[in-house]
Amino acid sequence: MEWIVASGKGRVYSFVVYHVAFHPAFQDDIPYVTAVVELAEGPRMLTNIVGCSPSEVKCNMPVEVVWDDVTDDVSLPKFKPAPHS
Is the CB of residue 4 less than 8 Å from the CB of residue 20?
no
The confidence band for 45, taking pLDDT boundaries of 50, 70 and 90, is: very high
Q: How far apart are the C-alpha atoms of 64 and 10, rounded to whole Å? A: 6
Tens of pLDDT along 4-25?
889 999 999 999 999 999 899 8
pLDDT (0 to 100) of residue 13: 98
pLDDT (0 to 100) of residue 85: 55
Residue 30: other Cβ atoms inside 10 A: 13
**What is the pTM for the complete model shown?**
0.90
- Examine the pLDDT at 1 and tell me if it is beyond 90: no
> Which domains are present in the chain?
9-81 (2.40.50)
More confident residue, 76 or 3: 76
